[in-house]
Structure 1
Amino acid sequence: MPAESPPSRVMSARQWAMLVLLALVWGGSFFFNAVAVTELPPLTVVAVRVAVAALALQIVLVARGQRSPVGSSVLAAFLVMGVLNNAIPFTLIVWGQTHIASGLAAILNATTPLFAVLVAHLFTRDERMTPLRLVGVVVGFVGVVAMIGPAALSGLGESVAAQLACLAAAVSYAVAGVYGRRFARLGVAPMATAAGMLAASATLLVPLALLVDRPFALPPPSLATVASLAGVALVSTAFAYILYFRLLATAGATNLLLVTFLVPVSAILLGVLVLGESLAPKHLVGMALIGLGLAAIDGRLPRAMTRSWMHFR
């Protein structure tokens, strides 16, 4: 069994490119969810999402001549990861979006790196908290708030349960990021890890959705809803989790979960490029702060500035 290589602190250009791509495909999930929940209950949307994604990845594994790993330790890890990274946060976020504005939900979701820094510090040896990393996370979070707009915070104090649900989802994502590091140690490939985790999630969520929502008794969904379910399952889940586990194995949980800072950026840029929306000054300010925070967390830019300062002294 291969030994687990320690995640890198400073991400390479390839890892940054994968992180940006992950932000793009995850940014689309908020749109897909918003369309789907207009006709289907939140739990049904989540169940269809993980079931279709799990089936798609299993088909890809078979086509590539690969097999899903078996063994009690691996299957148990799939189940725990499915609960922490899919069942709990997906359900909480989709339910939360039915009670609070998507901008506020995105801000609450962007607290994930704050929790990730703390969880990784407590439970790992190679992702310890540093003052620079903590400052970078705070600056990045401020950038998310600035970019989406302080008006999104006007909903604070209303629908408290929905806000707490989104925060609980962020905590669950953070814990999952640290827990998921074990798959590299177990020698499970990223695609097989994603397929196993999603299969475990579907095993839990599909029977629950059938029991609670009774979707078979609902009117047939429209073509737009079906297309949104396909998009969120195949693009924002199946493909996204292949990227997720590749990054987790090489860049670490704290670096990986910085993606929640980039998701609002990708959503706004997609709106500008695809829908012709305007780019406001607050968006540029927010993106600049997020970039500054990411640079601080990565550590490369501060070290380069320090070397330059020492050189010119």
Structure 2
Amino acid sequence: MGMASLGRLLLLAALWGGSFLFMRIVAPVLGAAPTALGRVALGAAGLLGLIALLRLRLSFHGKLRATLLLGVINSGLPFLLFALAARVLPAGYSAILNASTPLMGVLIGAALFGERIGANKLAGVLIGLGGVAVLTRTGPATDPAALWGVAACLAATACYGLAGFLTKRWIADRGGLDSRVVALGSQLGAVLLLLPFMLWQAAAQPLSWPEAGPRVWAALLALGLLCTALAYVLYFRLIADVGPLKALTVTFLIPPFGMFWSWLALGETVSGLQALGGALIALALWLVLRPEAPAARAAAPDEDWSI
């Protein structure tokens, strides 16, 4: 990996790690649905501006419906679930749990898409589950409400894992599509999903927008424009430059950045047992993302999981 790609990788990890901090700031004030909707709406606006700036042709080549559906699974649902978790979980917790995305990809691939699970991946899944178990038995995650937050994070990572396979089946295997167009379409699909949730929340309880200060609005802008629009551009550029497997190494770097930002801005601390849970998940990721032997790779199709 060249220095330019390494720089993009570190910047992407910093942005995605920061997303959990920003959600932790915004969601308790505005609520989960407005946080998620604001994120995808700003992300779509940023991507639309980029496409206009680059004068790219905005054509979905008959894949608009598939792209919108991918947005529901890959952005709308997980962003809503992580925003719900941000109301009860520290940002560092959510960042660590997000790292289980490739593990969910392995399980979903085996259960629904006939993927082969080798010894390394099986060991990785088991160790990763052990790491999650350690996290859920330490610190604030022992609170019943926080356990629902952990469940929301894991459901979000399952959405990411499923979306990777659906992207291959609905987009790549049907001739492909410009990655920036896919990213824009996915954000638009997420907007369509989240808008009813936003309206439902507004009807159920008055929105506390007037009480939100500049800090909350700045965090929401950063969440949408930096952690979503810019981050997707960086991620797809990395995939083009170094391939999906190396691009997925960003998963290792998101938890340290997430914990660092939350410590710096919110004063969150990490206990020894929490660090152990994160270390087990990191080991699991290494086993899952470790290249297999040539014969095993030939037997299994390419894999790609979104984050």
Using the size of structure 1 for normalisation, the TM-score is 0.73
Residues 20, 141 of structure 1: alpha-carbon distance in 2 compared, 3 angstrom cutoff: farther
Q: Which has the larger radius of gyration?
A: 1
Query: CA offsets, 1:242-294, max 9 Å, x none?
Result: 23445567745x87666444321222344678899999877886776566544
The one of 184, 209, 212 equivalent to 1:195 is 184
Residues 288, 40 of structure 1: alpha-carbon distance in 2 compared, 3 angstrom cutoff: closer
Instruction: Structure 2: state its 5+ residue gaps.
Output: 295-307
Residues 287, 204 of structure 1: alpha-carbon distance in 2 compared, 3 angstrom cutoff: closer
Residue 45 of structure 2 corresponds to residue 55 of structure 1: yes
In the other structure, the counterpart of 1:93 is: 82
Distance 1:134 1:243 in 2: 30
> 1:25·1:236 contact (CA, 8 Å) conserved in 2?
yes
Query: CA offsets, 1:63-100, max 9 Å, x none?
Result: 1010222344x111111111101111111121122234
Distance 2:7 2:273 in 1: 25
In the other structure, the counterpart of 2:123 is: 135
> Superposition pairs for residues 58-137 of structure 1, below 5 Å?
58-72=48-62, 74-122=63-111, 128-137=116-125
Instruction: Structure 1: state its 5+ residue gaps.
Output: 1-11, 304-313
Letter in 2 for 1:116: G
> Superposition pairs for residues 195-214 of structure 1, below 5 Å?
195-213=184-202
Residues 31, 275 of structure 1: alpha-carbon distance in 2 compared, 3 angstrom cutoff: closer
The one of 222, 227, 231 equivalent to 1:231 is 222
In the other structure, the counterpart of 1:241 is: 232
Paired-residue identity, %: 32
**How well do the aligned residues superpose, as a CA RMSD in angstroms?**
3.9
Letter in 2 for 1:236: C
Q: How many residues are aligned here?
A: 288
> Superposition pairs for residues 1-313 of structure 1, below 5 Å?
19-72=9-62, 74-122=63-111, 128-139=116-127, 151-152=138-139, 154-155=141-142, 158=145, 160-181=147-168, 182-185=170-173, 186-213=175-202, 218-219=209-210, 221-246=212-237, 251-252=243-244, 259-270=250-261, 292-299=283-290
Letter in 1 for 2:56: Q
Using the size of structure 2 for normalisation, the TM-score is 0.74
Q: Secondary structure at the match of 2:28?
A: coil
> 1:113·1:258 contact (CA, 8 Å) conserved in 2?
no
Q: Secondary structure at the match of 1:69?
A: coil
How far is 1:162 from its partner?
3.6
